Amino acid sequence: MKQGWGFDTAAVHAAQKPDDKTGAISQSIVPAVAYAFPDAETAAAVVAGCQEGTYYGRYGNPTTRTLEQKIAQLENGEDSIGLSSGMAAISSALLAFLQHGDHVLVTRDVYGGTYNFITLLAPRFGITFDFVDCTDAEQVRAAIKENTKAIYVETPSNPRLTVLDLTMLSSIAKERRLPLIVDNTFMSPYLQQPLELGADVVVHSATKYLNGHGDVLAGFVVGKKEVIDFIRKRIAGDLGQNLNAWESFLILRGLKTIGIRMRTHCDNAMKVAAYLQGHPGVAQVYYPGLPAHPQHELARKQMRGMGGIVSFEIKGGMEAGKAFINRLKLAMISFSLGDPETLVQHPASMTHFSIPEQERQQFGITDGLIRLSVGLEDAADIIADLEQALLPGPDGAIRNDAEQVKSGH
């Protein structure tokens, strides 16, 4: 980030300038696959990495390169690579450090897609793993093995919003000479910059807050240039995980308003969390902005804001949880998050369905857990929608559909 610029200014101007030939302020879209060279020597130098340039669409694109440079500046990293999805970013970051015979330490409260990659795909590469409570420094140290090659965490976590001490974890990682990889999707670089707290690599699902409009699939890995170069040449390029020019353009456009959007997401989420905390049909609210959150003080220290995700436990379990989200009128049932619209989902039956029930319970993903991605609507309208959907029965639990029929509702 250029010295003296605030985040909002950098989000608009970093890595971008008017087009040299046309003067156009808006970023140009270059949907090219192949690129011409003036001579064979130049082509060979670009392919060999001796000279800056793009030679084939799987390994780079001028529009995407502008975006990569902007993301790197916003995260205060040396470089970044744009990929075709958040899972492409997660898998590429892990494969940059792991190979056959290696072991990875993973925070136990983790996104379902990450869980699937770690438990189902990574073993096919001969990679082993352990899930550990990364809020406990001693448990982390005890879980590190001789063949451990990376520590992977997300904070706040999906969906219970556990906040991890990145300074503590980076200290342990450096003690053992291990890379610390951090999924920063829930926060965005506006609210949290893990590299500044000692992390080595940051990953994003840019599908979420970076783009912010629900019309792009994309991911990013940010870190040292040598790590990004390796991912570009030996993983993402060879696996065909490239990000296309049109989606890069949309993210560049979305990033210009990220500060404004994130402030509104945070303000709305705080109001929603405070409302839910006082509702008789809600057993527990998970939101770092609430003083009752177990890592509230840590969140205040390491995060610029508390984010736009609120998770909460509905009294009455799975049926009550499903009945609740079915009654919502403004909020939409969706697997995604970070959009202008308020989105709701039931992790146990949706995003984390693939995790065995016993493990879900160990990770704190109960049958009554709801994840709400608080949108940019008026907070009063979001709360009114929640109010009409939260219909407590005589025991305080949210009524399921059968109970509504019996009671005449």
According to the model, what pLDDT value does residue 405 have?
39
pTM of the predicted protein model: 0.94
pLDDT tens string 59-114: 999 999 999 999 999 999 999 999 999 999 999 999 999 999 999 999 998 898 99
7-255 topology per CATH: Aspartate Aminotransferase; domain 2 (3.40.640)
According to the model, what pLDDT value does residue 357 have?
76
Name, in order, each residue with C-beta under 8 angstroms of 267's C-beta and a sequence gap of 6 or more.
379
Residue 252 has pLDDT above 80, yes or no: yes
In the chain, domain spans: 7-255, 258-407
According to the model, what pLDDT value does residue 391 have?
81
Domain 7-255 matches domain 258-407 at the CATH topology level: no
Q: Where are the alpha helices (DSSP H) in 117-257?
A: 137-143, 166-175, 188-191, 225-230, 237-239, 245-255
Cβ atoms of 100 and 233 within 8 Å: the answer is: no
pLDDT tens string 283-334: 999 999 999 999 999 999 999 999 999 999 999 988 999 999 999 999 999 9
Residues 225-246, mean pLDDT to the nearest whole number: 96
Annotated catalytic residues are 58, 111, 183, 208
Classify domain 258-407 at the CATH class level. alpha beta
pLDDT bracket for residue 401 (50, 70, 90): low
Residues 5-18, mean pLDDT to the nearest whole number: 96
Paired with 373 in beta bridges are 309, 343
Residue 178 falls in which region: left (phi positive, over 0), alpha (psi -120 to 50) or beta: beta
Residues 195-207, mean pLDDT to the nearest whole number: 98
3-state secondary structure 129-147: EEEECCCCHHHHHHHCCCC
**What percent of the chain has a predicted confidence (pLDDT) above 90?**
87
- Averaged confidence pLDDT in the chain: 94
Residue 406 has pLDDT above 50, yes or no: no
pLDDT bracket for residue 1 (50, 70, 90): low
According to the model, what pLDDT value does residue 355 have?
76
According to the model, what pLDDT value does residue 408 have?
40
